[in-house]
Amino acid sequence: MLTAEVHGTEVRGLALCPGRVVRFVMDEQLQRLQVADLLRLTKASRKPAA
């Protein structure tokens, strides 16, 4: 986990997962966790020209 902030009944933050940075929002009242990719690292699918 990189950051976590409490906003009323929500906890929001950023986390590192293998190969990606994700944003999360956890709502205590709704018992829900939302996750969204902010950055995803992938392998190159093309060969270099040289």
The predicted structure's pLDDT at residue 12: 96
Tens digit of each residue's pLDDT (9 = 90 or more) over 1-50:
899 999 999 999 999 998 899 999 999 999 999 999 999 988 767 777 76
The predicted structure's pLDDT at residue 42: 82
Distance (Å, whole) CA 20 – CA 32: 21
Left (φ > 0), alpha (ψ -120 to 50) or beta: where does 36 sit?
A: beta
The predicted structure's pLDDT at residue 26: 96
Closest-CA residue to 30 (of 13, 8, 14, 15): 8
pTM listed for this prediction? 0.71
